[in-house]
Amino acid sequence: MEIKKWLNTTITRRDAIVVTAKVGAAVTLSQAITLPFATTAQAQDTPIPKDANGETVRHSACLVNCGSRCPLKVIVKNDRIVRIEPEDAKDDAVFGEHQIRPCLRGRSSRWRVYSPDRIKYPMKRVGKRGEGKFKRISWDEATAFIAAELTRVSEKYGREAIYYNYQSGAYYHTQGRPAWIRLLNLTGGYLNYHNTYSTAQIATATPYTHGDYVGSHFTQIAHSDLVVLFGLNLSETRMSGGGQVEELRRALETSKARVIIIDPRYTDSVITEHAEWLPIRPTTDAALVAGIAHTLITEQLLDEALVNRYCVGYDRSTLPDTAAPNASYKDYVLGTGDDGIAKTPEWAADITGIPATRIRQLAREIARTI
């Protein structure tokens, strides 16, 4: 069979007899050994009580790729999941932190089980890629096909032609990724991946553009007077998990800080954080930042010594000798750079849709609270 050939394992009758003899000897020896601990009887399987509606409560977690692992209450009736509820057995003060509650994805977990689109058995593509033509095959057919293809590729192109990529999803049963890695390693190795499929470009480019991922914790907002958020929408994207929405709420209760949210959408965060909403055209955040920077520079609201101490490229003094004389960020903003365009609030207003007067006002508000 292809699987046996690919695994390249052979067990002779003599090997089997030797292994059996060793196991038998180990069992005999173990009967003469007194263990240094006592064993107790296993707990009895007690049926889970049902309520008046015939429902029982089981406990699980939302084991998807966000990593939060929010606890779930699974309500079951007649051996079927009827709904998912958040775990509410303990209040928020148990550990002094906000209780972890699931988001909409976690609360809709039962559709991972009952969705008509769920794939329940192997499907083999029978048409061209992208046509969506598949046929159902047995598990034996699937494993034999995979083994045959791995064997063919390995023999023809070498093990470096077998690439195993990172993937994520749900982890409700045995995680398949470690098992596959173990199998591929035992049969000659494989081509591994670097970084991740979702944020690899950001992780690589950010240190050379915006800087490293160094910032403050949400709790520091408790010591702030003004909070400006570019597209950050915690009430919709971080409602679950570690409770960042609750952290932000508590911090704002302490500081009474003003919140300004810059986002194309009027999000839930605008409401829950009692924020001023500045609607902006999508993908124009950089133009707004440049317009703010123009006001900070021209009105001398910026501590340039501080910026030069911690940043590279703000003005000519921190650029390498090989850089063009007008290649600094300050030249870009003031219009003395290559493009010759001053990034005034009026320039930014035409791009972002935010009035120039509001851009200047925002820059001054930021400067007054630094």
- Residue 313 tokens read as 């490229």
Look-up of token digits 């958040």: 86
Residues 238 and 262 in one domain: yes
Residue 44 lies in a domain: no
Beta carbons of 348 and 287 less than 8 angstroms apart: yes
Q: Quick: pLDDT tens for 206-265.
A: 888 777 766 777 788 999 999 999 999 988 888 776 677 878 888 999 999 999 999 999
| DSSP classification of residue 163 | B
Residue 27 lies in a domain: no
Residues 293 and 359 in one domain: yes
Residue 132 lies in a domain: no
Helix/strand/coil for 362: helix
Closest CA to 359 of 315, 298, 316, 306: 298
Q: Using DSSP bridges, classify how beta strands 276-278 and 258-262 pair: parallel, antiparallel or unpaired.
A: parallel
Closest CA to 360 of 347, 348, 342, 345: 345
Q: Which of 47, 82, 114 is the last residue before a domain boundary?
A: 114
Look-up of token digits 């010759």: 340
- Residue 5 tokens read as 């050939």
**What is the DSSP annotation of 285-337?**
HHHHHHHHHHHHHHTT-S-HHHHHHH-SSSSGGGS-TTS-TT-SHHHHHHT-S
- Residue 100 tokens read as 């972890």
Residues 161 and 235 in one domain: no
Sheet architecture: strand order including 55-61:
55-61, 71-77, 80-86
Task: Tell whether pTM > 0.75.
Answer: no
Residue 344 lies in a domain: yes
Q: What is the CATH number of the domain that holds 77?
A: 2.20.25
Residues 161 and 196 in one domain: yes
Residues 349 and 365 in one domain: yes
Residues 289 and 365 in one domain: yes
Residue 200 lies in a domain: yes
Residues 309 and 257 in one domain: no
Backbone angles phi, psi at 188, to 5 degrees: 125, -5
Residue 127 lies in a domain: no
Residue 34 lies in a domain: no
Closest CA to 179 of 151, 215, 143: 143
Residue 310 lies in a domain: yes
Which amino acid makes up residue 209?
A: T
Beta carbons of 327 and 339 less than 8 angstroms apart: no
Residues 209 and 239 in one domain: no
Q: Quick: pLDDT tens for 285-302.
A: 999 999 999 999 999 999
Query: How many Å apart are CA 186 and CA 351, to the nearest integer?
Result: 57
- Residue 151 tokens read as 């064997």
Q: What is the CATH number of the domain that holds 356?
A: 3.40.228.10
Residues 298 and 352 in one domain: yes
Largest CA distance in the chain: 90
Q: Which of 278, 310, 326 is the last residue before a domain boundary?
A: 278
* Domain extent for 339: 285-369
Q: Using DSSP bridges, classify how beta strands 226-230 and 258-262 pair: parallel, antiparallel or unpaired.
A: parallel
Residues 208 and 226 in one domain: no
**pLDDT tens-digit profile, the chain (370 residues):** 454 554 454 545 444 444 444 444 444 444 444 555 566 667 677 777 888 888 999 988 888 877 778 889 999 999 999 999 988 776 655 556 667 788 888 899 899 889 998 888 999 999 999 999 999 999 999 999 999 999 999 999 999 999 988 776 666 655 677 888 899 999 899 999 887 777 788 888 888 877 776 677 778 899 999 999 999 998 888 877 667 787 888 899 999 999 999 999 999 999 989 999 999 999 999 999 999 999 999 999 999 999 999 888 999 999 999 999 899 999 999 999 999 999 999 999 999 999 999 999 999 999 998 7
Domain count, the chain: 4
Residues 293 and 271 in one domain: no
- Residue 296 tokens read as 């900070």
Query: How many Å apart are CA 64 and CA 103, to the nearest integer?
Result: 12
Q: Which of 262, 278, 294 is the last residue before a domain boundary?
A: 278
